[in-house]
Structure 1
């Protein structure tokens, strides 16, 4: 696939025209095109979760202008929040001619934790676990020969002593390469199967046996150079850097700052059928790794006066197993991006997170976050007020001109335009 992510006026195309364009460029079949609008069948939904009675739709859009590791790509994003996809696309445009966004992954290693209680000699027990390391690893790997054949499986173990208010717990970490799977099922199965051996070696009682979502051995890093000129000039860039410094120093600001990162990342995680809660939990835990909740991104000036952004975040996602294969739309999203490995997918997600954060900071540093956001939100309000077709844009345009996005005012505008009446500020005539 040789898709150019810079398509002038892509957002102005109708839904049908966008679908036709991406179908041609991503080589989607007619069946795949139909599934984009059809979503899940009730039979598939019933096989995924319990007590199914229906489905809830989330809009799926495409972020444009992305170049990731030299590859032009449209990135599918599933989100209910207006302005998120447009914001990511606009920020990506500022990096496109300067090389785009580059990403690097540290691998596909996950941790499985085995909690051992009621140990009278925890330090000696830790030593005994290390003495039986090879036996423990071998027993775990026997549970997933397919993963081992692909080069994955348990690669190491760590043994930690965790002091709580009541006792010293022994916690064994299985260091597992899960390859192109997120890995929860494989890791949890291994942790459970090896627990009897752990109890025998330690003399303790195993309780919890589960994956950790703080995937600090599965990091993805993203870096992009963004044109200061396209962002609005030196004063705005200076404000962006100041906003980052504020977030890095103050957890109250950092929470909203990192929410901007996750606006982008979570939308891609959801679009590809991955576990949004796992990725978000890992990201926020990683932001607190120094003992203080801080920014996930950094922003600084380079020697050319352009803005340079970096992001480092855990990324436990996969392209095989789970909803990535069960949900037909998730499979199509992966096909559109043309990703071949979980690490490549992680890079796409991180690139969007970096761009989304910049878009938020740029808006805050210039016209304020509400200007663009409310214009897009006004579409939802216009539809709520009963506008349809071309009337929606007319209502939005009028509300934007007035800078009045209250639902009551949008309802007045909608009703007046429906009746073919002139609209005046604050009232209809």
Structure 2
């Protein structure tokens, strides 16, 4: 074994296979471990090497398909990439239960992204704010010249906002460039525009520009989903009232709201990841939006209609795209888009919102009836069986006994496996 060190000069210059060998030498990995890392599955090693730095392999995540969804009147299959049991099943079950009432209806507010330019060291910030606003035409020209391809596809600069904020180091003037990014997520486009505009802002005002970057609080790019679940479909008034009580808890308590929204993001992030989009950007925007009132609250709202049926709505910022990044370069992401029939970024965002609403329905229903663990642990039993060493048909046999016993633990699985093998 080589000397243990993380200082590997020129590591980034090596091809992936040589990086694997170098890491194996330092970490003491055997040939089987090295072979495992070199097996990059359905993503070619060269393609992976082009996506991120210092590649030594890939991390394969299970890809499932949520069924039963009707979204805006269209039958839709939705691929979901996740490591968590019960997530795909939950969406499929929720979608099945609202099919008779028309499925899930969605809408969006458009594809507008915000780029921020921070200006400091200005003696008269309110005066500077007006100076910037007066140069709207010049700012539009600079932005549109920065990305002529976006302009040709119908996107580009749309509006200008300027705010004066009081920071700990004094006042700052923050310019918002509002940009239509079309079918792109838009990060690279709006970042480039912010950097291009910054020198002019500094020149007009006599101040100094620092940060020039997008905001992931994409509140000009909202997506909405709504659906109705009849009393017959969900199991009666008791289930409905229990779900409404669970929502009410989340609406008044941030501790509960955090877990409530995590359940929504189980679905949202799984579809975002399956399509090669930026899960961290989507998650940060969602949680920031949930806290805009000053208290962290649910992204969904649940009510009963005049007939006593359960209705749910979801509204959240969602910046996803079909152009650029892993969405364009990852072959599995392309196949996932094809499976769900998402030919525009708007359609993709609507589909993701529908999945988020369905995911939340299932979580609330489980909490209001059998408890979250019963269904989740039944599906998780296969994972536990594998952890205990089960292979092939043993996995089904061990997991079935775990569920029957109602104790889904590794030590119990090991005992069952030992008995089966004897």
**For 1:116-139, what per-residue CA distance to the aligned partner results, in whole angstroms no more than 9, with x for missing partners?**
010011011011111111001101
2:380 equivalent to 1:377: yes
How far has the Cα of 1:394 moved from its partner?
1.6
How far has the Cα of 1:396 moved from its partner?
1.3
> What does residue range 146-225 of structure 1 map to in structure 2 within 5 Å?
146-225=149-228
Partner of 1:352: 355
Query: Once superposed, what is the RMSD of the aligned Cα atoms?
Result: 1.0
> What does residue range 27-106 of structure 1 map to in structure 2 within 5 Å?
38-106=41-109
For residue 342 of structure 2, give the secondary structure of its aligned residue in structure 1: coil
How far has the Cα of 1:259 moved from its partner?
0.2
How far has the Cα of 1:39 moved from its partner?
2.4
Distance, in Å, in 2 between the alignment partners of 1:335 and 1:148 is: 26
Distance, in Å, in 2 between the alignment partners of 1:394 and 1:231 is: 31
Count of residue pairs brought into register by the alignment: 383
Which runs of 5 or more residues in structure 1 are unaligned?
A: 1-36, 420-429
Partner of 2:262: 259
1:113 to 106, 109, 116: 116
Partner of 2:34: none
Partner of 2:130: 127
Distance, in Å, in 2 between the alignment partners of 1:416 and 1:233 is: 43
2:369 equivalent to 1:366: yes
Partner of 1:249: 252
For residue 343 of structure 1, give the secondary structure of its aligned residue in structure 2: helix
**For 1:355-412, what per-residue CA distance to the aligned partner results, in whole angstroms no more than 9, with x for missing partners?**
0011111111111101111111110111122222222122111111110111101111
2:231 to 228, 231, 244: 228
Partner of 1:386: 389
2:280 to 252, 277, 282: 277
**For 1:230-287, what per-residue CA distance to the aligned partner results, in whole angstroms no more than 9, with x for missing partners?**
2222101101011101101100000000000000000000000000000000000000
**For 1:70-98, what per-residue CA distance to the aligned partner results, in whole angstroms no more than 9, with x for missing partners?**
00011000000000000111011111111
How far has the Cα of 1:194 moved from its partner?
1.2
Partner of 2:399: 396
Partner of 1:408: 411
For residue 348 of structure 2, give the secondary structure of its aligned residue in structure 1: helix
How far has the Cα of 1:228 moved from its partner?
2.4
Moved more, 297-306 or 80-89: 297-306
Distance, in Å, in 2 between the alignment partners of 1:303 and 1:124 is: 53
How far has the Cα of 1:108 moved from its partner?
0.2
For residue 96 of structure 1, give the secondary structure of its aligned residue in structure 2: coil
For residue 98 of structure 2, give the secondary structure of its aligned residue in structure 1: helix
For residue 76 of structure 1, give the secondary structure of its aligned residue in structure 2: strand
Distance, in Å, in 2 between the alignment partners of 1:363 and 1:411 is: 29
Partner of 1:321: 324
Distance, in Å, in 2 between the alignment partners of 1:140 and 1:71 is: 37
How far has the Cα of 1:166 moved from its partner?
2.5
2:141 equivalent to 1:138: yes
**For 1:144-173, what per-residue CA distance to the aligned partner results, in whole angstroms no more than 9, with x for missing partners?**
111111111111110011111221100000
How far has the Cα of 1:304 moved from its partner?
2.3
CA contact (8 A) 2:116 2:177 kept: yes
How far has the Cα of 1:183 moved from its partner?
0.1
Distance, in Å, in 1 between the alignment partners of 2:324 and 2:205 is: 34
Distance, in Å, in 1 between the alignment partners of 2:231 and 2:54 is: 52
